[in-house]
A = this chain, B = another copy of it.
Amino acid sequence: MTLHSTFAALADPTRHKILMLLKKKDMSAGEIGSHFDITAPSLSHHLGILKNADLVKSRRNGQEIIYSLSISTFEELSDTMINFFKTK
């Protein structure tokens, strides 16, 4: 994954809101969806993009898929932004 594709994953209001929700607690796809006015397939599409960008992880729990933030990726992204000016 390139840096700009990570930014692309962050560059959508729905995905941004998903990340904000997952900050509070891990949630199933269905629980995440209850906060939006889009269909399950649309939500799944966004979750797939976030997962592909390593911004979230998922695990199965019975019938549900539980999503959670991938902390390390955010830490790396913080570092990238901080170091942006340090290297010419």
A-side residues, CB < 8 A to B, are 2-5, 7-8, 10-13, 15-16, 23-24, 71, 74, 77-78, 81-82, 84-85, 87-88
Contacts and interface: CB of A to CB of B under 8 A. Distances in A.
Contact of A10 (B4, B78, B85): B4
Contacts of A71: 85
Given A11-B11, A78-B78, A85 B23 contact: yes
Contacts of A88: 23-24
Majority SS of interface residues in chain A? helix
Contact of A74 (B11, B23, B81): B81
Contacts of A3: 16
